Chains A and B, each alone.
Chain A
Amino acid sequence: MKFVVEQASKSSGRLGRLTGLRSQPTTVHDTPLSMISTLGGSAPHLTQDVLHLVVDKEVPVCFPAQHFCDLTKTLQKFKKGVTHFSALKSHSACVTVQDATKMTPSGYNEKKGISVWTYGGRQIIAAERYMELVEAMQPDWYEALNDADTDVNSSKKRILKSVMNSTLMLDQCIDISKKKQGLREAALFAPLLGGHNEDERKRYSKAIIENIKNESVLGFSLLGLHTNGATAEKLDSKLISNLVKVSLDPLPQDLPRQASGAWNPLTVITLVQQGVDIFDSSFPYLVTERKGALVFPISLTKEYIDEKFLKRENLGHQNKKLKSENNAETCHEDRQRNKDGEDAKENIPEDELSSAYEMCLKGKRYENLMFL
Chain B
Amino acid sequence: MKGLLPQQVKDAKAQLILGNTYHLGTRPGKDLLNKFEGLHNFMQWDRALLTDSGGFQMVSLLELAEITEEGVKFKSPYDGSECMLTPEESIEIQNAIGADIMMQLDDVVDVKETDYERFKTATYRTTRWLDRCMKANKNPDRQNLFPIIQGGLFPDLRKISLEQLIARDAPGYAIGGLSGGEDKDKFWPTIHLCTDHLPKNKPRYCMGVGFAVDLVVCCAMGVDMFDCVFPTRTARFGCALVDNGQINLKSREFMSDFIPIDEKCDCTTCQNYTRAYLHTIVTKETVACHLLSIHNIAYQMRLMKNIRESIKKGCFVEFVQDFMSTYYKNQEYPQWVVDCLAAVNITLKK
Residue B124 CB within 8 A of the other chain = no
Residue A48 CB within 8 A of the other chain = yes
Residue B247 CB within 8 A of the other chain = no
Given known pairs A71-B280, A85-B277, A86-B277, the reply for A47 and B32 (CB within 8 Å) is: no
Report how far A212 CA is from B242 CA in the complex, Å: 54
Report how far A128 CA is from B58 CA in the complex, Å: 58
* Distance to closest chain B CB from A268 (angstroms): 26
Contacts of A85 in B (CB 8 A): 274, 276-277
* Distance to closest chain A CB from B98 (angstroms): 17
Which of B277, B284, B290 has the largest count of A CB atoms less than 10 A from its CB? B277
Structural contact, A45 and B290, CB atoms closer than 8 A: yes
Structural contact, A87 and B294, CB atoms closer than 8 A: no
Using a Cβ–Cβ cut-off of 8 Å, how many residues does chain B contribute to the interface with A? 27
* Distance to closest chain B CB from A119 (angstroms): 5
Structural contact, B268 and A48, CB atoms closer than 8 A: yes
Report how far A46 CA is from B285 CA in the complex, Å: 10
Report how far A85 CA is from B256 CA in the complex, Å: 11
Cross-interface CB contact of B277 among A39, A41, A43, A46, cutoff 8 Å: A41
Contacts of B286 in A (CB 8 A): 44-45
Residue A351 CB within 8 A of the other chain = no
Structural contact, A50 and B285, CB atoms closer than 8 A: no
Residue A42 CB within 8 A of the other chain = yes
Contacts of A13 in B (CB 8 A): none
Contacts of A45 in B (CB 8 A): 3, 286-287, 290
Interface residues on A, range: 20 to 34
* Distance to closest chain B CB from A149 (angstroms): 25
Report how far A41 CA is from B291 CA in the complex, Å: 13
Residue A74 CB within 8 A of the other chain = yes
Residue B207 CB within 8 A of the other chain = no
Residue A49 CB within 8 A of the other chain = yes
Contacts of B269 in A (CB 8 A): 47
Given known pairs A40-B280, A71-B280, A367-B32, the reply for A49 and B274 (CB within 8 Å) is: no
Query: Does more than half of chain B's interface fall in helix, strand or loop, or is it mixed?
Result: helix
Residue A179 CB within 8 A of the other chain = no
Structural contact, B5 and A50, CB atoms closer than 8 A: yes
Structural contact, B280 and A87, CB atoms closer than 8 A: no
Report how far A207 CA is from B211 CA in the complex, Å: 65
Contacts of A78 in B (CB 8 A): 256, 258, 276
Structural contact, A119 and B5, CB atoms closer than 8 A: no
Which residue of A has the minimal Cβ distance to B11? A49
Structural contact, B285 and A87, CB atoms closer than 8 A: no
Report how far A40 CA is from B291 CA in the complex, Å: 14
Given known pairs A87-B273, A87-B277, the reply for A40 and B285 (CB within 8 Å) is: yes
Contacts of A87 in B (CB 8 A): 272-274, 277
Structural contact, A74 and B276, CB atoms closer than 8 A: yes
Residue B166 CB within 8 A of the other chain = no
Report how far A372 CA is from B216 CA in the complex, Å: 46
Contacts of B28 in A (CB 8 A): 367
| Residues of chain A from 324 to 368 with CB closer than 8 A to chain B in the complex | 367
Structural contact, B284 and A74, CB atoms closer than 8 A: no
Residue A77 CB within 8 A of the other chain = yes
Structural contact, B268 and A49, CB atoms closer than 8 A: yes
Contact with A along B177-216 (1 / 0, CB 8 A): 0000000000000000000000000000000000000000
Residue B24 CB within 8 A of the other chain = no
| Residues of chain B from 31 to 81 with CB closer than 8 A to chain A in the complex | 32, 35-36
Contact with A along B287-321 (1 / 0, CB 8 A): 11011001000000000000000000000000000
Structural contact, B276 and A41, CB atoms closer than 8 A: no
Residue A239 CB within 8 A of the other chain = no
Report how far A78 CA is from B258 CA in the complex, Å: 7
The 3 closest A-B pairs by CB, nearest first: A42-B287, A40-B281, A87-B272
Beyond A40-B287, A86-B277, list 17 extra A-B contacts (CB 8 Å): A40-B280, A40-B288, A41-B280, A42-B281, A42-B285, A44-B286, A44-B287, A47-B8, A47-B268, A47-B291, A49-B8, A74-B280, A78-B256, A78-B258, A85-B276, A87-B273, A119-B284
